[in-house]
Structure 1
Amino acid sequence: MITVDDTRVIGEARVLAGLDQGRLDRQRHHLIHGPLPVLTRDDYLRLCEAVGLRGRGGAAFPVALKLQDLPARGVEAVVVNGSESEPVSRKDRLLLTRWPHLVLDGAVGLAHALGAPHVLIAVHDADAATSLREALVERDDRLAIEVREIPSRFVAGEARAVLSALEGGDAVPPGRRVLPTRKGYHRRPTFLSNVETFAQLAVLARLGARGFSSTGVITEPGTQLLTIDGAVQRPGVIETPTGVPLDTVLQYAGAEPGPVLLGGYHGRWLTQTHVTLQRPEVSAGIILALGQNTCPLGEVTRVADWLRRQSAGQCGPCVFGLASLVDDFARLTLGERRGWYDAQRHLGLIPGRGACAHPDGAARFLTSALEVFDDDVRRHVSGQGCGRPVLGVLPVPGGAR
């Protein structure tokens, strides 16, 4: 295992190659990775199909399907979603501040292959924006490349919210669910994915399908970036082969025993950690260890209240549904049996009815909590409580840790 500060590599360093050299400028980037091959659209499509590459954001959508859905001509832009609005995730910001040229290679190489005249990079982190702009000074990509700073709210990271912000609108998902490949930037066909996806594309272009597939699982080979936090001794970002056992990652991070949240605050809870980590299960690559010293229901209620405050405010399931659930879980934590019944009822009404994925994701997180923390629920509604304080193990922006 290679370790530098809070960034580690299990196995072969690919995306994080040159970890011990600090931020890679253009010269050091080329020394480590070599020049980027010039590939056609068909080349990228064949490579992505051969390795089953999936987007490294929350949706884990197959990259090859996005490419196939684009028209043969008239692609307006390639958009790099660097908003990383999930409060725990740090992998994309790490890439943008330390490996900006790898991300730019992936975006620029694909833009040339698609004939797209624009590359737009959306970020909300000032350090990431500065790093990208410094990297662009070192390059001559013969494209219009812009770095745009957008708001950092949770829903602002959704693909359609990013496009709205890039066009000068509010950073919220519109009610219509139209794929960016059909109507994206300025309502023209657009390829949009997150930062790590473009870094992986740059690695894939250089290694080819066979080299890329020399590590990881057969169904989706290669490596993945994981952010681990919570009740761990060594939080941070880890590059691992796909399919690495969750237990291995928890051990390297020095995690305390206890439940684990996979996929962040739209993810699900696990009590058994004998699973392998690959998409779409691991979603945006977030692992949160809860430990055994904090009140699970209190932690979940804190996160639910933060999720409520992140609502775009444009549909009932978000505005009223999430507010009701916060009240339900707060009453349940205080020992009110009625809170449990109301939570079950409201959780059954929300999925599939929102204007975006936020209410569904929040409901998934809370439904999973009721299932996994069933024993704690019983203790609370019995009036005994679990006997543990709320330590703030789950990071909430603006809240106590």
Structure 2
Amino acid sequence: MMLLQDTTVRVIGDPRLLSGVDQGRLDHQRHLWTHGAQPDLTREDYLKLTDAVGLRGRGGAAFPVALKLADLPARGIEAVVVNGSESEPVSRKDRLLLTLAPHLVLDGATGLARALGAPHVLIAVHDAEAAMSIREALMERNDGLAIEVADTPGRFVAGEARAVLSALEGGPAVPPGRRVLPTRQGHRRRPTFLSNVETFAQLAVLARLGAKRFSSTGLISEPGTQLLTIDGAVRRPGVIETPTGVPLEAVMQFAGAAAGPVLLGGYHGRWLPHSGGVVLKRPDVSAGIILALGTDTCPLGEVHRVAQWLASQSAGQCGPCVFGLAALVDDFDRLVKGDPAGWHDAERHIGLVPGRGACAHPDGSVRFLASALEAFGEDVRLHLADGGCGRQVRGVLPVPGGSW
């Protein structure tokens, strides 16, 4: 166990990504002692390995890595992009890797870039400590590639893949309305492999272990380990490395979580009424975020606080985001106060927003709000019948400006 800026780091089972970090940041020498040298693999090697273990991206989309590799052209790949813009306010796993195990991330990115024949590796980071760590790591190694660390904004939508690509080219850090895959038109409008920080660390581990050893833990369908950020009503918040498929209840007990509802996947995720009977796997766990709500706070009031923040993070480029999310904030405000019209309007607006936005922010926000109405049905009844549930809003769900 160790601390990084008040973030507790723990492991269930044997560590892989977090191996050696109990002694602090791994410089290049300690990294090689811990993990060994990075093998020189071909593109076909990476394709076979990622397909054999069913590796999915460890960001929000959980897209199969092998399919992303197969979609790239045979030549002319411009860059490998590491998306370290971890703008989800709860998540800490990617910046933890960049800060404590930067060489594992760099091994994954540079190894893949060489295999693909990509001349550039671009690392987008919005956290100052993580950016400093990765820049220090680059000074400790010589990869023979053009590697650039770019500072990006920390707004929620700025972490979306197309927003990151726009920012890397000097444009606004917002997703453009046209949805084109980076594998077709990425950096400089050329084919690009882009994924999040943990994905590249997993590639580095997979390259060293091979498919058989990598598959010695976790689910058969997607073996290996995963990083989870847990927060909310827990005694031991922080980042946990676990095998894939670990029961949610085991992680909650390990972190000292209070009983009650659980949010999986962060503020674009979904609510569960309790943690029983759930195993943690992609895409359900999405960006690896678990939030325990407990039973001492008003659930609908907590959801309304987050809805306000989500609306404030709009890119401002489409009606469903600008007007739809603002309307839902007003709906939930009236619902919390016991107005039946607020509940009816929320149900109506939730049905109108999905699939109409310029990016995934409206859809993800609606998913969060819709699952709240379903999971907190009894609380909705109490608010509509009695004007409240009798509990104060304690601010259990972290939002920027609050405490970690």
Same fold (TM over 0.5): yes
Structure 1 residue 383 displacement after superposition: 2.6
**TM-score, normalised relative to structure 1:** 0.99
1:4 is matched with which residue?
A: 2
Q: Check the 8 A contact 1:220/1:242 in 2, yes or no.
A: yes
Question: Could you tell me which of 242, 245, 265 is aligned with 1:243?
Answer: 245
Structure 2 CA distance for partners of 1:199 and 1:325, relative to 1, 3 Å: same
- Structure 2 residue identity aligned to 1:49: D
1:173 is matched with which residue?
A: 175
Q: Check the 8 A contact 2:21/2:101 in 1, yes or no.
A: no
Tell me the distance in 2 between the aligned counterparts of 1:280 and 1:230: 21
Aligned length: 399
Question: Could you tell me which of 298, 301, 306 is aligned with 2:304?
Answer: 301
Matched, 1:89 2:91: yes
1:20 is matched with which residue?
A: 22
Q: Secondary structure at the match of 2:386?
A: coil
1:317 is matched with which residue?
A: 320
Q: Secondary structure at the match of 1:145?
A: strand
Tell me the distance in 1 between the aligned counterparts of 2:235 and 2:77: 46
Between the two proteins, what is the percent identity of the paired residues?
Answer: 77
Q: Check the 8 A contact 1:122/1:147 in 2, yes or no.
A: yes
2:143 is matched with which residue?
A: 141
Matched, 1:366 2:369: yes
1:206 is matched with which residue?
A: 208
**TM-score, normalised relative to structure 2:** 0.98
1:187 is matched with which residue?
A: 189
Q: Structure 1 residues 97-106 or 3-12, which shifts more?
A: 3-12
Q: Check the 8 A contact 2:87/2:158 in 1, yes or no.
A: yes
Structure 1 residue 18 displacement after superposition: 0.3
Q: Secondary structure at the match of 2:314?
A: coil
Instruction: Map 1:208-223 to 2 at 5 A.
Output: 208-223=210-225
Structure 1 residue 271 displacement after superposition: 1.3
Structure 1 residue 21 displacement after superposition: 1.4
Tell me the distance in 2 between the aligned counterparts of 1:253 and 1:132: 29
**C-alpha deviations, 1:58-110, integer Å up to 9, x for none?**
00000000000000000000000000000000000100000000000000000
Structure 2 CA distance for partners of 1:400 and 1:50, relative to 1, 3 Å: closer
Tell me the distance in 1 between the aligned counterparts of 2:266 and 2:294: 16
1:261 is matched with which residue?
A: 263
Structure 1 residue 384 displacement after superposition: 4.1
Question: Could you tell me which of 329, 332, 341 is aligned with 2:332?
Answer: 329
2:401 is matched with which residue?
A: 398
**C-alpha deviations, 1:255-274, integer Å up to 9, x for none?**
00000000000000001312
- Structure 1 residue identity aligned to 2:85: S
Q: Check the 8 A contact 1:247/1:275 in 2, yes or no.
A: yes
- The list of structure 1 runs, each at least 4 consecutive aligned residues, that deviate by more than 6 angstroms after superposition, is none
Tell me the distance in 1 between the aligned counterparts of 2:403 and 2:36: 44
- Structure 2 residue identity aligned to 1:310: Q
Q: Secondary structure at the match of 1:250?
A: helix
Tell me the distance in 2 between the aligned counterparts of 1:179 and 1:255: 39
Q: Check the 8 A contact 2:24/2:100 in 1, yes or no.
A: yes
Q: Check the 8 A contact 2:12/2:243 in 1, yes or no.
A: yes
Q: Check the 8 A contact 2:336/2:387 in 1, yes or no.
A: no
1:152 is matched with which residue?
A: 154
Q: Secondary structure at the match of 1:380?
A: helix
Tell me the distance in 1 between the aligned counterparts of 2:63 and 2:255: 28
Q: Check the 8 A contact 1:73/1:115 in 2, yes or no.
A: yes
Tell me the distance in 2 between the aligned counterparts of 1:76 and 1:349: 39
Tell me the distance in 1 between the aligned counterparts of 2:21 and 2:278: 28
Structure 1 residue 400 displacement after superposition: 6.8
**C-alpha deviations, 1:17-65, integer Å up to 9, x for none?**
0022100000000000000000000000000000000000000000000
Structure 1 residue 184 displacement after superposition: 0.1
Q: Structure 1 residues 372-381 or 270-279, which shifts more?
A: 270-279
Structure 2 unaligned segments of length 5 or more: list them. none
Q: Structure 1 residues 211-220 or 377-386, which shifts more?
A: 377-386
Tell me the distance in 1 between the aligned counterparts of 2:392 and 2:65: 44
Tell me the distance in 2 between the aligned counterparts of 1:386 and 1:189: 53
Q: Structure 1 residues 12-21 or 280-289, which shifts more?
A: 12-21
- Structure 2 residue identity aligned to 1:4: M
Q: Structure 1 residues 16-25 or 52-61, which shifts more?
A: 16-25
RMSD: 0.8
Q: Secondary structure at the match of 1:61?
A: coil
Structure 1 residue 399 displacement after superposition: 4.2
2:101 is matched with which residue?
A: 99
2:383 is matched with which residue?
A: 380
Q: Check the 8 A contact 1:93/1:125 in 2, yes or no.
A: yes
- Structure 1 residue identity aligned to 2:340: R
Question: Could you tell me which of 280, 286, 290 is aligned with 2:289?
Answer: 286
Q: Secondary structure at the match of 1:240?
A: strand
Tell me the distance in 2 between the aligned counterparts of 1:204 and 1:342: 49
Q: Check the 8 A contact 1:269/1:372 in 2, yes or no.
A: yes
Q: Check the 8 A contact 1:392/1:400 in 2, yes or no.
A: no
